[in-house]
Structure 1
Amino acid sequence: MSGPQVSAAGRVVVGVDGSASSTQAAAYAAGCARRRGTGLLVVHVTPRKAADGAAPMADRDIREQFANSATRLVQAAADGVRETTGLTDVTASVVEDYPVDGLLDLSADAAMVVTGRRGTGGLPGLILGSTAGALVQHARCPVIALPDDCATPDGPPPSVVVGVDGRGGDDVVLAFAVAEAAARGADLRAVHAWRDVPLESAVGAFGPLVDWSGVEAGARRLLTEAVGPVRRGSPGVRIQEEVLRDTPATALLTVSAGADLLVVGHRHRGRLARLGSTTNGVLHRAACPIAVVPIPG
């Protein structure tokens, strides 16, 4: 149930804290696990130690109370997932660590981590930029961050949207996106936005003389070349290529309206670096779940 030996071992991981957001995240994570044919690890992360200055006996009492409460909480969450989703391969565990660090350690072996966009894993009520923000920024596996309401869209067939930026790492992001589309029986919409605001500002009055149609044609070639390998490798998935003259965040927000999932890549830039503008923009504004896929190097 608890201890430092907890391993995600290819499972889908979700942190719970007793909040409605984490309950929703656990149910969503169960769906991800079922589609992937893997198990679900439900964890609650507790602080390593009691508050500074506590008396030794009080400290032991507090730790015992914390442990019992955490065990009941995570077990109840796991039981709830089994009952509401029918998934049987569900493991409950208490992890003694700081919330972000505990979930980041599990991400080393996990298939993915699911988090409520406003934070789970032991710290309720936090806005993006704390637990959820740190996870999408530093996790070593894909992280799916959920909006407040992640109900399945009604109406059109299911779709997965993926952003393709034309730089190294698109293959990793596309591989995750096409796998999610296949598992969901969804179409995949690969989006590349080619608007270059600094360039447009630089050319100024000379803008009408620029061959923008040539720029767009180059963007279409780029997208087709990037999508080619996953198209050939996943003939059962219908893939649409969409090139938009817009900023990446705005284009992805537009196309993903009503989608089941939006997939973007994130390049790790060091412990203190911030999220890229596109990832940060869609995380705060998209209405659908967002998968952030780490790009090595």
Structure 2
Amino acid sequence: MSAILVGVDGSTSSLRAAAYAAGLARRQRCRLIAVYVRKGPPTMIPLGDDSGAAAATAIEAQDEIERELRAAFRDHVPQLDIEASFQVRTGEPYAELIAAAKEARADAVIVGKSAKVLHRIAGSLAVKLVRCGRWPVTVVP
């Protein structure tokens, strides 16, 4: 294996996925690419609506998650003795993880299990990645 890509979003399952991916990268002596996907800014905010405040709150929350992930990456990766990088992308998580995996020529993709009930009906990111069938996908609970 030459590269393992892990999707992280700050959730407990994504942090478990990152830990699993880091261990696998160390054992396989390959690169680890951690990817955090931010949701894109709203394209149009109606005047006189509270959606501007909601958008600002969402951006602040994503900024905080990104800071926490960068700090965790900076603090924990050096002691693992692996080649690793942290990427931040903006867009739809499925599309961005696929693009990142293609660019990195990833040999495997690792993600955390979704905790959202709706995803059991409509399909989660993990299920979509598995169905894509381009890489082995490991879903960490």
State whether TM-score is above 0.5: yes
In the alignment, the residues of structure 1 paired with residue 70 and residue 46 of structure 2 have an alpha-carbon distance, to the nearest angstrom, of 28
In the alignment, the residues of structure 2 paired with residue 135 and residue 35 of structure 1 have an alpha-carbon distance, to the nearest angstrom, of 24
Match of 1:41 in 2: 33
Q: How does 1:66-105 map to 2 (within 5 A)?
A: 68-79=63-74, 81-82=76-77, 86-105=80-99
Gaps of 5+ in 1: 1-9, 149-297
In the alignment, the residues of structure 1 paired with residue 72 and residue 116 of structure 2 have an alpha-carbon distance, to the nearest angstrom, of 18
The residue identity in structure 1 corresponding to 2:129 is: L
Q: CA deviation at 1:46?
A: 1.1
The residue identity in structure 2 corresponding to 1:72 is: R
Larger helix percent: 2
Q: Normalization by structure 2: what TM-score?
A: 0.73
Q: How does 1:101-112 map to 2 (within 5 A)?
A: 101-108=95-102, 109-112=105-108
The one of 121, 127, 134 aligned to 2:128: 134
Q: CA offsets per residue over residues 213-266 of structure 1, 9 Å max, x none?
A: xxxxxxxxxxxxxxxxxxxxxxxxxxxxxxxxxxxxxxxxxxxxxxxxxxxxxx
Higher RCO (CA-CA < 8 Å; seq separation 6+): 2
Sort the Cα spacing of 1:111 and 1:131 in 2 relative to 1 into closer, same or farther, 3 A: same
Sort the Cα spacing of 1:66 and 1:136 in 2 relative to 1 into closer, same or farther, 3 A: same
How high is the sequence identity, in percent, across the aligned residues?
Answer: 29
Q: Normalization by structure 1: what TM-score?
A: 0.38
Bigger-Rg structure (1/2):
1
- Aligned residue-pair number: 129
The one of 82, 86, 109 aligned to 1:113: 109
The residue identity in structure 2 corresponding to 1:104 is: I
Contact 1:13 1:42 in 2 (8 A): yes
In the alignment, the residues of structure 1 paired with residue 7 and residue 86 of structure 2 have an alpha-carbon distance, to the nearest angstrom, of 10
The one of 23, 37, 46 aligned to 1:31: 23
Provide the secondary structure at the position in 2 that maps to 1:113: strand
Gaps of 5+ in 2: none
